[in-house]
Amino acid sequence: MCGIIGIASNKSVTSNIINSLKKLEYRGYDSAGIATIVNGNIDEKKCTGRVDNLEKILFKNPSKGLLGIGHVRWATHGIPSQVNAHPHSSEEVSVVHNGIIENSNELKKKLEQSGYKFKSQTDTEVITFLLTDFLKEFDLVEAINKTLKTLNGSFALGILFKKYDNIVVGARRGSPLAVGYGPQENYLGSDSYALKSMTNKITYLEDGEVCIISNNKVDFYNSKNIKINKKILTLSNDKYTAEKGDYKDFMSKEINEQNITAKNCVKEYVDQLRKDINLYNFPIQPKDIQKIILIGCGTAYHSCITAKYWFEELTNIPIEIDIASEFRYRKIKLSKKNLYIFVSQSGETADTFAALDLCKKNKVKTCSVVNAVESSIARSSDFVLPIHAGPEIGVASTKAFIGQMLVLYILAIKISQIRKEISETEYEKKIIDLKKLPDLIKKTLNYCQNNIPTIAKDFLKAKGSMFLGRGLSFPIALEGALKLKELSYLHAEGYPAGEMKHGPLALIEEGLPVVILAPKDRYFEKTISNMQEVIARGGKVILITNETKKIISENIRFTLEMPESNENLTPFLMTIPLQLLAYHVALLKNCDIDKPRNLAKSVTVE
């Protein structure tokens, strides 16, 4: 979950490396570093904390190299410190690394026996010394490939060499890496987002491939040391800017963009004239699907749980959901008659990609729901459904979650229609309702902005909180609890409301904040009964509902009234106050909203 940048140019690269690292901070922000070749030697500078700290060091002690590598770190091996920060350099080689080397301890012992002295606690320093060792005996490409074959685990690497002082080398296995092309300079980056300010011409490395970059040339090699040709892609222009504009932070901007995300998603998939959903080239005929398996991590997993309810209601297809990090370690009975759907904001989530890779090796049908159409998961899937959310920079996902749910809901409707499991009248009604969703989200946003800051104060001194819901509201309760944990570092739990009496009720005590999601649906009365159980034990209830005609209780701390909507659309509306609640609690605690501690946006390690 670290960020890598490499540049080979005919002018100083320091400024562009720093600017690119700032864009990559969503991948890691506990330390940063840069290495350049200056006067034939490796010039390494690194620090703890943000890229701003590195920039200050370079201001006092500039580096004028024409090629260089940079890194932002999300710690895995070794605490965040200057010595553990990347790059890791010997006299001959400097390396930046995203991923994990699983056999690093074993390799470290062998290298120490050969006389190498390690400074850091990282797994990355092993790579530096392996390369140094192999270069004594082999030429550049062979030394790199021998190093890669020695390593177990996942990695994307950026490498400088004292001996080869006009090139930057990149290599990957498991972790993403892209090459960018520019006039008199070429680039290496963890993703296209970091390179977009410099170029829109991109090539993606596949597993086992190596690239050698100079300022006017890029060569690619496979694992057999054979030079290969790679396709150059032109990146699409984003309709959204990745700047904060007038907002205090990216998260508040992205929360407030959710009606735009919904509008663009509906516009992309719904034919306005024919009252039809445009989805073509299914990897498997919907009528032949025997089972759908939805797979994701974190927030994406919550979108999968929500989608399970929609698919089960609208189709007769059996539905399973799976956490990606568990999926490939079980004895899964894969079938070519099933559709496996992978959900990921970044499209680079390591656990999700590994689950997808298992499915690809077994030649089963795959579909991905992603925000980045150039990502590894998108490129490896049989069928891709983009969510059209635009860049999401805040680490805690908001508009991407709305987009994931919306695409999955649209997919459920379309599959149901093709299989003739809903009537054409019902199909057209759902399309009409879909078109109303952006305005409903905007209305919800406007209402919540004024009410949530007051509610947030109740969470500051509480030792925990609960989020409860039934049916479609249950996964939204899970997501609300996750958001509060991610942003404010306060303990929170999401539960099915009916599960309270089977254990969690023991946690209810005087003053404990409990958020109850009770939309006007088939579960309403039962959810309110569960709420009364909480009130009777002293819980401080925040009720979120669109049922405004019933007097529910006089003992509710706050009631947030949502706009009325189709029952299937309530997850989109119920999500918004929970996002804003987490945001405002974190704001009151002076937490870093866009970069919560210990977390990174693109989770590219297991």
Could you read off the pLDDT of 110-127 as tens digits, one per residue?
Answer: 999 999 999 999 989 999
- The active-site residue out of 263, 308, 414, 601 is 601
Are residues 202 and 72 both part of a single domain? yes
31-35, 203-207, 225-229, 504-508, range with the lowest pLDDT: 504-508
204 found inside a domain: yes
Q: What percent helix, strand, coil does the chain show, rounded to 5? A: 40, 25, 40
By residue range, what is the domain housing residue 165?
A: 3-234
Are residues 208 and 337 both part of a single domain? no
Q: Of 410, 364, 397, nearest to 296 (Cα)?
A: 397
pLDDT for the residue 109:
93
Is residue 211 annotated as part of the catalytic site, yes or no?
A: no
Taking the C-alpha atoms of residue 279 and residue 289, their distance in angstroms, rounded to an integer, is 16
Q: What is the CATH number of the domain that holds 184?
A: 3.60.20.10
Taking the C-alpha atoms of residue 535 and residue 520, their distance in angstroms, rounded to an integer, is 20
Residue 511 has pLDDT above 90, yes or no: no
Q: What is the CATH number of the domain that holds 340?
A: 3.40.50.10490
Q: Confidence band (pLDDT; 50, 70, 90) for 344?
A: very high
Residue 134 has, within 13 A of its CA and on its CB side, a CA count of: 20
Could you read off the pLDDT of 439-475 as tens digits, one per residue?
Answer: 999 999 998 888 899 999 999 988 899 999 999 999 9
126 found inside a domain: yes
Residue 361 has pLDDT above 60, yes or no: yes
Q: Is the separation of the CB atoms in 455 and 579 below 8 Å?
A: no
Residues 6+ apart with CB under 8 A from 357: 380
Unique residue bearing structure tokens 């309270």? 500
Are residues 465 and 408 both part of a single domain? yes
Could you read off the pLDDT of 210-221 as tens digits, one per residue?
Answer: 999 999 999 999
Residue 239 has pLDDT above 50, yes or no: no
Q: Is the separation of the CB atoms in 235 and 191 below 8 Å?
A: no
245 found inside a domain: no
| For range 371-382, the mean pLDDT | 86
Are residues 225 and 259 both part of a single domain? no
What letters, b where the CB count within 10 A reaches 16 and e where it falls short, cover 131-170? bbbbbeeeebbebbbbbbebbebbbbbbbbbbebbebbbb
Domain boundary among 168, 202, 234: 234
Residue 602 has pLDDT above 60, yes or no: no
Is residue 11 annotated as part of the catalytic site, yes or no?
A: no
Residue 238 has pLDDT above 60, yes or no: no
Helices of type H across 270-398: 298-314, 324-327, 350-361, 376-380
Q: Of 594, 529, 605, 606, nearest to 26 (Cα)?
A: 594
| Extended strands (E) in 315-454 | 319-323, 338-344, 365-370, 383-386
- Mean pLDDT score across all residues of the chain: 90
> What's the pTM?
0.78
Domain boundary among 173, 208, 234: 234
Would you state the structure tokens that stand for residue 443, as one six-digit string? 């209305």
C-beta neighbour count of 396 within 10 angstroms: 28
3-state secondary structure at position 598: coil
Residue 482 has pLDDT above 70, yes or no: yes
Taking the C-alpha atoms of residue 534 and residue 513, their distance in angstroms, rounded to an integer, is 10
Residues 6+ apart with CB under 8 A from 155: 97, 98, 99, 100, 101, 127, 171, 172, 173, 174, 175
- The active-site residue out of 2, 47, 367, 591 is 2
Phi, psi of 495 (to 5 degrees): -140, 155
297 found inside a domain: yes
Residue 11 has pLDDT above 60, yes or no: yes
Taking the C-alpha atoms of residue 294 and residue 223, their distance in angstroms, rounded to an integer, is 33
**DSSP states of 203-222:** EEPPTT-EEEE-SS-EEEE-
58 found inside a domain: yes
pLDDT over 70, % of the chain: 97
Domain boundary among 193, 210, 234: 234
Q: Of 293, 372, 383, nearest to 338 (Cα)?
A: 293
Are residues 155 and 272 both part of a single domain? no
Are residues 326 and 203 both part of a single domain? no
Residue 371 has pLDDT above 50, yes or no: yes
Q: How far is CA 260 from the centre of its chain?
A: 20
Residue 349 has pLDDT above 90, yes or no: no
Are residues 256 and 157 both part of a single domain? no
597 found inside a domain: no
| For range 314-324, the mean pLDDT | 96
Are residues 195 and 281 both part of a single domain? no
Tell whether omega for the bond before 286 is within 30 degrees of 0, i.e. cis. Answer: no
- Considering its fold, how many domains does the chain have in total? 2
Could you read off the pLDDT of 573-586 as tens digits, one per residue?
Answer: 999 999 999 999 99
244 found inside a domain: no
Are residues 566 and 427 both part of a single domain? yes
Are residues 94 and 133 both part of a single domain? yes
Q: Of 303, 262, 256, nearest to 479 (Cα)?
A: 303
Residue 40 has pLDDT above 50, yes or no: yes
Are residues 296 and 392 both part of a single domain? yes
606 found inside a domain: no
Q: Is the separation of the CB atoms in 319 and 308 below 8 Å?
A: yes
Walk across the sheet containing 41-48 and list its strands. Answer: 41-48, 31-38, 67-73, 3-9, 185-189, 178-182, 201-204, 233-234
pLDDT for the residue 240:
45
Please name the amino acid found at residue 221: Y
Residue 603 has pLDDT above 80, yes or no: no
| For range 470-488, the mean pLDDT | 96
Residue 551 has pLDDT above 80, yes or no: no
Are residues 226 and 285 both part of a single domain? no
